Amino acid sequence: MSTLESIINDPERRATAAAQQAKLRAELGHRLAQNPAQAQFLWGQAREQQTLDQLSALTAEDAPEMGEAALRGRTIELYRQLAEGYAAQGRYADAVAASEAGQDGERRAEYEARRDAVESISQARCEHPAEVVEPSPTDAKGFKRKVRTEIERVYDGGRVIAFLRCSECRAVSAEIVT
């Protein structure tokens, strides 16, 4: 049984996670909501809980009689939603597993890139320089252009992390903001 399946099929484990999340929301909710990355984190937690509950209901023996294809389609949809919920919390390894179960190769590749970037946080993930000098019509010295541009800020429950994408090779790097 995969880790995901064991989470979905273990009500006690889900209840513990829900209680921890409710506690965090109660303690920090007001403050968290002031920052877009942290508001997204809270949304991700709610998404995770809701989706796990729905997946659990689908896999229960008393699941409503759905056709096999409909059940399969719904399950894939829920796994994709679960992956979004994890990603919104900066839980990229979990998001990789959920998007794999949701057969979403494109998202999975992006979550893998972000997971790897967080593992080597504050280090550029490619060899390109931070800046390049482009020709300028008004300045003989040219102008400096940043090679890595920020694509998103994500809160992981402890840190706000900025993700940067290299304009030369698309590699994703991560930096700690706060």
- Taking the least distance from each CB to Zn ion, the nearer of 77 and 168 is 168
- Taking the least distance from each CB to Zn ion, the nearer of 77 and 119 is 119
- Radius of gyration from C-alpha coordinates of the chain: 20
The three-state secondary structure class of 149 is strand
**Alpha carbon distance 40, 33 (integer Å):** 8
- Taking the least distance from each CB to Zn ion, the nearer of 71 and 171 is 171
H-run or E-run covering 146: strand 143-146
**Applying CB under 5 A, which residues contact Zn ion?**
126, 128, 166, 168-169, 171
- Taking the least distance from each CB to Zn ion, the nearer of 25 and 128 is 128
**Alpha carbon distance 139, 81 (integer Å):** 49
- Taking the least distance from each CB to Zn ion, the nearer of 33 and 133 is 133
**Least distance in Å: CB of 146 to Zn ion?**
12
Decide if 174 contacts 118 (C-beta within 8 A).
yes
**Least distance in Å: CB of 174 to Zn ion?**
14
Backbone angles phi, psi at 137, to 5 degrees: -70, -20
Of 88, 82, 87, nearest to 103 by C-alpha is: 82
**Least distance in Å: CB of 163 to Zn ion?**
14
**Alpha carbon distance 46, 40 (integer Å):** 10
| Half-sphere exposure of residue 157: CA atoms within 13 angstroms, side-chain side | 14
**Least distance in Å: CB of 91 to Zn ion?**
26
